[in-house]
Amino acid sequence: MSDRTGAGVIVLAATPIGDVEDASARLVRLLGEADLIAAEDTRRLRALASRLGVQVSARVLSYHEHNEQARADAVLQVAADGGTVLVVTDAGMPAVSDPGFRLVRAAAEAGVRVTAAPGPSAALTALALSGLPSDRFCFEGFLPRKPGERDRMLAELAEERRTMIFFESPHRIAAALAAMAAAFGADRDAAVCRELTKTYEEIRRGPLAELVDWAAGQVRGELSIVVAGADPAPPQVEDLVAEVLRRTAEGQRLKEATAQVSVRAGVSRRELYEAALRAR
pLDDT in tens, 157-181: 999 999 999 999 999 999 999 999 9
Lowest mean pLDDT among 84-93, 103-112, 230-239: 230-239
Whole-number pLDDT of residue 3? 46
* Percent of the chain topping pLDDT 70: 98
Report the candidate in 214, 143, 155, 219 with the shortest Cα–Cα distance to residue 182.
155
pLDDT band per the 50, 70, 90 thresholds, residue 217: confident
pLDDT band per the 50, 70, 90 thresholds, residue 237: confident
pLDDT above 80 (res 150): yes
- What is the mean predicted confidence (pLDDT) over 214-226? 94
- What is the mean predicted confidence (pLDDT) over 18-41? 96
Quickly count: other Cβ atoms within 10 Å of residue 201's Cβ: 15
Report the candidate in 60, 67, 12 with the shortest Cα–Cα distance to residue 36.
60
pLDDT band per the 50, 70, 90 thresholds, residue 97: confident
Give 3-state DSSP helix, strand, coil % of the chain, rounded to 5. Answer: 45, 20, 35
pTM here?
Answer: 0.81
Cα(156)–Cα(138) distance, rounded to whole angstroms?
14
Cα(115)–Cα(118) distance, rounded to whole angstroms?
9
Cα(230)–Cα(132) distance, rounded to whole angstroms?
12
Helix 269-279 / helix 237-249 crossing angle, nearest 10 deg: 60
Cα(164)–Cα(160) distance, rounded to whole angstroms?
8
pLDDT band per the 50, 70, 90 thresholds, residue 6: very low
Q: What angle do CA 64, 65, 68 make, to 5 degrees?
A: 70
pLDDT band per the 50, 70, 90 thresholds, residue 145: very high
Report the candidate in 95, 80, 94 with the shortest Cα–Cα distance to residue 36.
80
Report the mean per-residue pLDDT for the chain. 93
pLDDT band per the 50, 70, 90 thresholds, residue 125: very high
Tell which wins on pLDDT, 262 or 121: 121
Strands (E), 65-194: 84-88, 114-117, 137-142, 163-168, 189-194
What one-letter code names the amino acid at 91?
A: A
